[in-house]
Every structure is written in C-alpha cells, then in structure tokens.
Copies of this chain bind each other. A is one copy, B any other.
Amino acid sequence: MNTNTQTTRLYHSTLSPFCRKVRLVLAEKKIEVELVEEKYWENPPDLKRRNPAGKLPVLRHRGHMLAESQAIVEYLDEVVADPALMPRQPLDRHEVRRLCAWFDDKFNSEVTQPIMNERVWKKITRSGYPDSRAVKDGLRAIKEHIDYLTTLLEARRWLAGNAISLADFTAAAHFSCLDYISDVDWDRSEAVRDWYATIKSRPAFRSVLADQVPGIHPAPHYAELDFG
C-alpha cells in the first residue's frame, strides 16, 4: 500500500520555484516521492495543519512534516549523503548558501515573483490581467542576473564552484518556471545557456520537464534538451 506514513510525499505547486527546488534535489538524490498538488491560494485547511506558515512546499519524510525549501534541501543533503550537494569547507558552504539566498530572495522578488504573478497566477486564480509594467521590470531585471551568472561561470564550472550544488538546483528551479512560459532570453549568454542545458539534461530534471499546467501551455522548447 502506498498510503502509509513512510511514503515520502511532497505537497507542492507545479510552477512554484521553491517546490521545484525540492523536487529536483529529491530526484538528484534518487528519493522516490509521491507528488500531491495543492492550490495554496485557496488556503486548503490541511495546509496550515501540515505547515503552520501556510506555505508550500511541505515534505513528509519518514513520518515528519518538513517545511521551508532551503531547510528541507539541507536536511535531505544531510540524511542522504550521495550525491553530496554541499561542499565540505565552511567558505565553500557559505558560497552555496549565499547563492541559494540570492535566488530565493533577490531573484525571486525582482524576477520570478513579478513575472509569474502577472503571467501565471492571475490567470490561474482569475484575478485580473497582467500588469505589463511589472512584467517589463522583471524582464529587465533578469538581464542583470544573467550577466552576474555569466561572470560567475567565467571562473567556475557550476554556480558556486567546480562541483554541482544546491545553488545550481535552486537557480535552475527559478529559471525552469520562467522557461515554462518562455521568459528567459537564452541568447544573452552562452555560458548561462550551456549551464542550463547541462543541468536540464540530468535525469533529475525529467519530472519537471514533463509538467503540464492546465490552461497554461509550456513554451515549445521547454522540454527540449537542445534549445536556444
């Protein structure tokens, strides 16, 4: 039976970057997970019971309810050692966490949140039409972020250093949401496009690339491994 409390289960929302980060890390660690889609904007009563913050993602793992994406992925990296997604040295670990926060705080508030809000959530929740200025601001901001990543990738194989880490999956989670609706200008930077093509071709990305959100079609290149 698949419903015992030992099944790993993720309560998530398909186009949430925070949920995608957890999905990608679970898949990279080869942890089997049952996905349960939640309409968090309808405030489902069980959501607050599972996570008093009322937010997704929530991961049920070994009978525990875990919330907050960064806390969850660090936990997963501690309980499933292989493959390691955090380096060993404090300074390198700081760099991974700094970049995770860069995406979940700065990139999210300047890019993901305004664009997804205008172009996706308003449609899904039928709460009005996109504000084109907000979308424009987001598209302008994404250029600066791509340029910053380009400078990082001049000296590194992956975003936080020469090994793949939580920072890459966090960044890819945000980019993949925007890529679903075709809002990433991959022509701006060869280095960033190559980085994304490489991470996108990992088996861990398959489930995310198969996503289909009712009423919102993915961009034609969304699931293609050879794009841009």
Interface residues of A (CB under 8 A from B): 52-53, 55, 64, 66-68, 70-72, 74-75, 78-79, 90-91, 93-94, 97-98, 100-102, 105-106, 148
Q: Known contacts being A68-B101, A102-B68, is A75 close to B94, with CB within 8 Å?
A: yes
Q: How far is the CA of A77 from the CA of B126 in the complex (A)?
A: 46
Say what secondary structure dominates the interface of chain A: helix
Question: How far, in Å, is A99 (CB) from chain B's closest CB?
Answer: 9
Q: Which residues of B contact A102 (CB under 8 A)?
A: 53, 68
Q: Is the CB of A55 within 8 A of B106?
A: yes
User: Could you list 20 A-B pairs, sorted by A, with CB under 8 Å?
Assistant: A52-B148, A53-B102, A53-B106, A55-B106, A66-B94, A67-B98, A70-B70, A70-B97, A71-B94, A71-B97, A71-B98, A71-B100, A72-B94, A74-B93, A74-B97, A75-B90, A75-B91, A75-B94, A75-B97, A79-B90
Q: How far is the CA of A79 from the CA of B92 in the complex (A)?
A: 12
Residue in contact with A66 in the complex, picked from B52, B55, B68, B98, CB distance below 8 Å:
B98
Question: How far, in Å, is A170 (CB) from chain B's closest CB?
Answer: 12
Q: How far is the CA of A100 from the CA of B102 in the complex (A)?
A: 16
Q: Which residues of B contact A106 (CB under 8 A)?
A: 53, 55
Q: Which residues of B contact A97 (CB under 8 A)?
A: 68, 70-71, 74-75
Q: How far is the CA of A53 from the CA of B107 in the complex (A)?
A: 10
Question: How far, in Å, is A42 (CB) from chain B's closest CB?
Answer: 19
Q: How far is the CA of A75 from the CA of B97 in the complex (A)?
A: 9
Q: Is the CB of A98 within 8 A of B68?
A: yes
Question: How far, in Å, is A103 (CB) from chain B's closest CB?
Answer: 11
